[in-house]
Amino acid sequence: EAGVAQSPRYKIIEKRQSVAFWCNPISGHATLYWYQQILGQGPKLLIQFQNNGVVDDSQLPKDRFSAERLKGVDSTLKIQPAKLEDSAVYLCASSFLHSGEAFFGQGTRLTVV
Amino acid sequence: KQEVTQIPAALSVPEGENLVLNCSFTDSAIYNLQWFRQDPGKGLTSLLLIQSSQREQTSGRLNASLDKSSGRSTLYIAASQPGDSATYLCAVGGSQGNLIFGKGTKLSVKP
């Protein structure tokens, strides 16, 4: 069974630029999550989708971050404009049920300079 | 607001030793608890999932226990090996499925 796929693996951008991350969850998984992991911290939930609907985006900085999950499969997370404090690893995860075991991708390491 | 704490933050042990990693949470109204392993520069690998109705789960040399009433979970690793060196993360799941993570315990197993 293929795992959660994310791209790119690494990205370096200047502050105020925009960036987008892509995630393809495990086939059949209805729930998709985006987490932000700052160095030395545990991951923090940014947004949770159930199929193509948003379940929780309470911690998403909506003035600069946006996410979509068209057709309830792939998802993209965008940052525009980026700030230095956005430097982190962005992790995508999926689960079959919203209460089930979560499986994570390899993450995208973003560096904002 | 749920908070998850992991103690110790770092642990170094000689190969072959049995060890216990601790996780505590402030709100006992959890749906499940999951232990993950994270290698440097990598994503998270799921180790064990314990549903709120369960007391423990085992996988190979790993055993995780859950005591909801006291807000505690432990991950027991038997006969540790250098390949077990990684950061171990504990996460509690709410009814919606969102996971709240601790900061992790960085484990180093010396040959």
pLDDT tens profile A38-64 = 999 999 999 999 988 999 999 999 999
Confidence of residue A1 (pLDDT cuts 50, 70, 90): low
Amino acid identity for residue B96 in this structure: Q
Size of interface A-B (CB pairs under 8 A): 69
With H, G, I as helix, E, B as strand and everything else as coil, classify residue B10: strand
Q: Residue A110 phi/psi, 5° resolution?
A: -105, 130
DSSP assignment letter at B101: E
Please check the confidence at residue A29 and state whether its pLDDT lies above 70.
yes
CA distance A16 to chain B (A): 25
* Cβ within 8 Å, pair B43-A40: no
Look-up of token digits 């505690």: B72
Whether the CB of A107 is below 8 Å from some CB of chain B: the reply is yes
> Are B1 and B85 in contact, with CB atoms under 8 Å apart?
no
Mean pLDDT across B24-43 = 94
A57-A59-A65-A66 Cα dihedral, nearest 10 degrees: 0
- Residues of B within 8 A of A23 (CB-CB) are none
Question: Which residues 6+ apart lie within 8 Å of B108 measured at CB?
Answer: B10, B11, B12, B13, B85
Q: What is the Cα–Cα distance from B6 to B88, expressed in whole angstroms?
A: 9
- A42/B49 touch (CB, cutoff 8 Å), yes or no: no
Using a CB-CB cut-off of 8 Å, the residues of chain A touching B103 are 40-42
pLDDT given for residue B110 in this prediction:
97
d(CA A45, CA A91): 9
Is residue A37 within 8 Å of residue A31, measured between CB atoms?
A: no
Query: E strands within A9-87?
Result: 10-13, 19-24, 31-37, 44-50, 53-56, 65-68, 75-79
Model confidence at A31, in pLDDT bands (50, 70, 90)? very high
Judging contacts by C-beta atoms under 8 Å, the chain A residues touching residue B41 are 109
